[in-house]
A and B are shown apart, each in its own frame.
Chain A
Amino acid sequence: MNFEDLQKAWQSQDAGAQVTINADILLKEVRRNQQQFRATIFWRDVREVGVAFLLTLFFLHQGMRHHDWADYLVAFAGFGVGTFMVLDRLLQRRKQPVSNDSLKACIESSLLQVNHQIWLLKNIFWWYLLPFAAALGISICYSTWPARNSGFPAVIVGVISALFLALLYWGIYWLNQCAVRRALDPRRQELETLLAGLE
């Protein structure tokens, strides 16, 4: 049997005959799925960017209440991180793959996105953890410094706060590096393999 015969057999199959579709329910489901997808993206953005802006508001409020410049510093760090995330999201949204692009163009833009995500997570220390850590560190030192003469307990409180923060930040950093190793690196390799198949 040659290829033309295979092609003939292939084209004679009536794939659609094996399926009955209720178009009305389907349309309802497609619309619901689309809304669900949009809601998921929206709430993910709100969750991630929202935390930074909530911290900003909280420390801004604290600073105004106590007239404490160290709180303003943390609020400023939160605002900076939140703004960076919003700008990054806006820029990346423009580069999102379009499903009706050619396969190659779609794979290329997906690869760019995955590479950008990897870059973000690998550098999370610099754009997310360090601004908060530095501002919070200064704030802790500033608030415990006046109590330095009140003896050992004040120092202990300062050290425990610093250790707690360090542990929390290490946890965040570790989780993000895990995400790169387990999800993003394999995806990048998969996309690179696909792209290599087209080059």
Chain B
Amino acid sequence: MTAQEQETIFRRWLEEHLGLMLKVVRGCATAPQDQDDLFQDVLLQLWSSIPAFRGEAKETTWIYRVAFNTALAWRRVERRRRERHETFLKLDASPRAQPSHVDLLPEQEIVERLYAAIRQLPKVDVSLALMHLDGLSYQEMAEVLGISENYVGVKLNRIRKQLAEQLKGAPDEL
């Protein structure tokens, strides 16, 4: 694969799957600086993984794998040393993008509560919860994690209960 092809794929993935990557990052790290660091790591790993991508796996499955593996290996303390030369990332500072649980649309509030609940789960369950919410099939989730579909089902039942428990008392009887 040429450097040009690698760059083209990377740019396309950024355009099409940025939301997916950000969801993983937000689900795995809480503080904005940690999210920023983890996001950089995910992008770096994704870039390095492109030459091995042969199109046998679905793009989303591939990106999930890389993102989750990076998130699992990522350790907050170690990453604080990272230096950045230029800013490539601009977070939208508008009130809509800065949830404060005041004046939030009901759906946004649900999403924020979901993120908070997901971060309370064990690390492996975080990955399953995120994929499940994104609507991946059991087969796809099993492929990303390397476990059987049956086991995915068992774990998802448990995760749903845990999430429901954590979201109890939310507005509109979440």
Contact = CB atoms under 8 A, between A and B. Distances in A.
Contacts of A103: 65, 68-69, 72, 124, 127, 144-146
Main SS at interface, chain A = helix
Contacts of A107: 72
B72 A15 contact: no
Interface in B21-71: 22-23, 26, 40, 43-45, 47-49, 52-53, 57, 62, 65-66, 68-70
A1 interface: yes
Nearest to A23: B11
Contacts of B49: 98-100
B60 to A, nearest CB: 13
Contact of B47 (A6, A11, A18, A34): A34
- The B interface is mostly helix, strand or loop, or mixed, namely helix
A193 B72 CA distance: 12
B84 interface: yes
A194 B22 contact: no
B90 interface: yes
Contacts of B11: 23, 27
Given A102-B146, A103-B69, A198-B145, A10 B114 contact: yes
Q: How large is the interface on B (under 10, 10 to 19, 20 to 34, 35 or more residues)?
A: 35 or more
B48 A194 contact: no
Contact of B44 (A13, A33, A100, A102): A33
A106 interface: yes
A26 B69 contact: no
B92 interface: yes
Given A7-B133, A34-B48, A102-B145, A29 B86 contact: yes
Q: How large is the interface on A (under 10, 10 to 19, 20 to 34, 35 or more residues)?
A: 35 or more
Contact of A11 (B57, B68, B125, B135): B135
B143 A102 contact: yes
Interface in A85-133: 97-107, 110
A25 B86 contact: yes
B152 to A, nearest CB: 10
Contacts of B72: 103, 106-107, 194
A197 interface: yes
A104 B145 contact: yes
B169 interface: no
B14 A23 contact: yes
B174 A26 contact: no
A154 to B, nearest CB: 49
Contact of A99 (B19, B57, B65, B123): B65
Interface of A: 1, 3, 6-7, 9-23, 25-34, 37, 97-107, 110, 193-194, 197-198
8 contacts: A10-B110, A15-B18, A17-B97, A19-B22, A34-B44, A100-B62, A100-B66, A193-B122
Nearest 8 A-B pairs (CB), nearest first? Answer: A102-B146, A104-B146, A197-B124, A26-B88, A16-B19, A25-B88, A16-B18, A15-B19
